[in-house]
Amino acid sequence: MDNIDIQAIRAAFPILKREVNGKPLVYLDNGATTQKPQAVIDAIIHYYSDMNSNVHRGVHYLSQISTDAFEVTRRKVQEFIHAQHDHEVIITKGTTESINIVAQCYGKAFIHAGDEIIISAMEHHSNIVPWQMLCEDKGAFLKVIPMNEAGELDMEVYRTLLNDKTKLVAVNYVSNALGTINPIKEIIDLAHASHAVVLIDAAQAIQHIPMDVQALDVDFLVFSGHKMYGPTGVGVLYGKEALLNQMPPYQGGGDMIKEVTFEKTTYNELPFKFEAGTPNIEAGITLDAAIDFIQGIGLEHIKKYEDELLAYATEQLLTIDGLRIIGTAKEKSSVVSFVIDGTHPYDVGVILDKLGIAVRTGHHCAQPVMDQFGIPGTIRASFALYNTKEEIDALVAGVKRAVNMLI
């Protein structure tokens, strides 16, 4: 398509050249993790070969250049999500830790007995369990925005759930199990009208959709590096400065302190107050290369291309008798989840793997979603900018072969 040289992009990912079970790899499990371009791999090698040192601690040369590189990533994230300040960007282990920081630290300061927290029916377990734990600890109540059979949130019910007891709303931008793109701006505005703060889980959106936290006016935004062509073990918690300053630290240890005595400890300023201990320095530094890779192509171009892949995959998969797509929202992003009458998702996934095709099977850490549809799980194909229509053709042919073998 215009503006995307798909072969040049594919050439940047070494793993796409390999075979699996004697077949060319068709990697369609990008919702779980994306593959890494050579630029990110080279950045990892460069760090350990030429820079390896601890950050924010040493006056020697290697520590200084590692610290500078780590802070370059922080500023790059700030620009990428259009945060007002770089100290509003907290480097974490990933989306799960970022959510837990808010649950523990905001929750400790602001959630009390009788308060209410709202999540949605399509959340990943990492955006359910921390809030359940907080509610149990504080005597608060967890409310759930229902969804319809298309996998779209019932916004009218959401409006009725909001009241003066609502203190926090936590929802995903894009459903990992269904691909639904939620009306995030409306969700945020309605919550703010009820004086509630909002956390958005952008783990499945950050690599597909341009993000502007100031335009959204979101209070907290979280995502992981490994889902955006970066390394594992690194993620981001964005929070508005005023809120972060009012929250207690998540962990005690090195670098999150200003002064320590046996009588009292005073805490460091943002962002370091929430970054106790030695971080995953390599991942923090090389996330910069992943952002550069995305920006070099442009999220607008990426989204347009991936939307074409999704439309093509949906059309082709629906030619298979007995196949039913789970999640048919009008607004979707890069995920098609489906079941096939008379088969189990796991069995189909195993056969596809023998053909070199990597998909996800199961409940996708979203068991309440599966419960609503009355199924044990789905087969999920999730797309990235390096996938092609030819790979979708291979998926469709593989599914047809699996059906013939299993039924």
Per-position b or e across 11-21, b if 16+ CB within 10 A of its CB:
ebbeebeeeee
pLDDT of residue 4: 81
pLDDT of residue 58: 77
The answer on 239 and 144 residing in a single domain is yes
The answer on 397 and 253 residing in a single domain is no
Question: Going by C-beta distance under 8 Å and a sequence separation of 6 or more, which residues neighbour residue 242?
Answer: none
pLDDT of residue 85: 98
Per-position b or e across 180-204, b if 16+ CB within 10 A of its CB:
bbbbbeebbebbeebebbbbbbbbb
Domain that holds residue 218: 41-295
Cβ–Cβ < 8 Å for 91, 236: yes
pLDDT of residue 1: 43
Kindly list the distances between the CA atom of residue 116 and the CA atoms of 77, 140, 243, 407, in Å, as whole numbers in the listed order: 31, 6, 18, 48
Q: Please tell me the distance from the alpha carbon of residue 16 to that of residue 386, in angstroms, as a whole number.
A: 9
pLDDT of residue 269: 83
Would you say residue 200 lies in a domain?
Answer: yes
Would you say residue 237 lies in a domain?
Answer: yes
Catalytic residue among 39, 44, 157, 365: 365
Question: Going by C-beta distance under 8 Å and a sequence separation of 6 or more, which residues neighbour residue 255?
Answer: 56, 57, 268, 272, 275, 276, 277
Residue with tokens 């039913």: 324
- Which one of 258, 274, 295 terminates a domain? 295
The answer on 306 and 290 residing in a single domain is no
- Which one of 244, 261, 295 terminates a domain? 295
The structure's pTM equals 0.95
Q: Provide the 3-class DSSP secondary structure of residue 240.
A: coil
pLDDT of residue 2: 56
Total domains in the chain come to: 2
| DSSP 8-state assignment for residue 139 | T
The answer on 353 and 211 residing in a single domain is no
Would you say residue 25 lies in a domain?
Answer: yes
The answer on 235 and 108 residing in a single domain is yes
The answer on 305 and 289 residing in a single domain is no
The answer on 96 and 142 residing in a single domain is yes
Per-position b or e across 329-357, b if 16+ CB within 10 A of its CB:
beebbbbbbbbbeebebeebbebbbebbb
Q: 166-172 and 323-326: which strand pairing?
A: unpaired
Q: What is the CATH number of the domain that holds 57?
A: 3.40.640.10
The answer on 326 and 223 residing in a single domain is no
135 is a catalytic site residue: no
**Which ranges of 176-221 would DSSP assign to H, the alpha helix?**
184-193, 213-216
Would you say residue 389 lies in a domain?
Answer: yes
The answer on 151 and 18 residing in a single domain is no
- Which one of 269, 295, 321 terminates a domain? 295
pLDDT of residue 215: 98
Question: Going by C-beta distance under 8 Å and a sequence separation of 6 or more, which residues neighbour residue 325?
Answer: 314, 317, 318, 336, 337, 338
Would you say residue 36 lies in a domain?
Answer: no
Q: What is the CATH number of the domain that holds 376?
A: 3.90.1150.10
pLDDT of residue 167: 98
Would you say residue 35 lies in a domain?
Answer: no
The answer on 136 and 67 residing in a single domain is yes
The answer on 132 and 93 residing in a single domain is yes
Would you say residue 175 lies in a domain?
Answer: yes
In tens digits, the chain (407 residues) has pLDDT values of 456 899 999 999 999 999 999 999 999 999 999 999 999 999 999 999 999 999 987 789 999 999 999 999 999 999 999 999 999 999 999 999 999 999 999 999 999 999 999 999 999 999 999 999 999 999 999 999 999 999 999 999 999 999 999 999 999 999 999 999 999 999 999 999 999 999 999 999 999 999 999 999 999 999 999 999 999 999 999 999 999 999 998 877 767 666 666 766 666 788 989 988 889 999 999 999 999 999 999 999 999 999 999 999 999 999 999 999 999 999 999 999 999 999 999 999 999 999 999 999 999 999 999 999 999 999 999 999 999 999 999 999 999 999 999 98
pLDDT of residue 261: 64
Q: Please tell me the distance from the alpha carbon of residue 407 to that of residue 393, in angstroms, as a whole number.
A: 21
The answer on 118 and 164 residing in a single domain is yes
Would you say residue 1 lies in a domain?
Answer: no
Q: Six-digit token pair at 191?
A: 């919550």
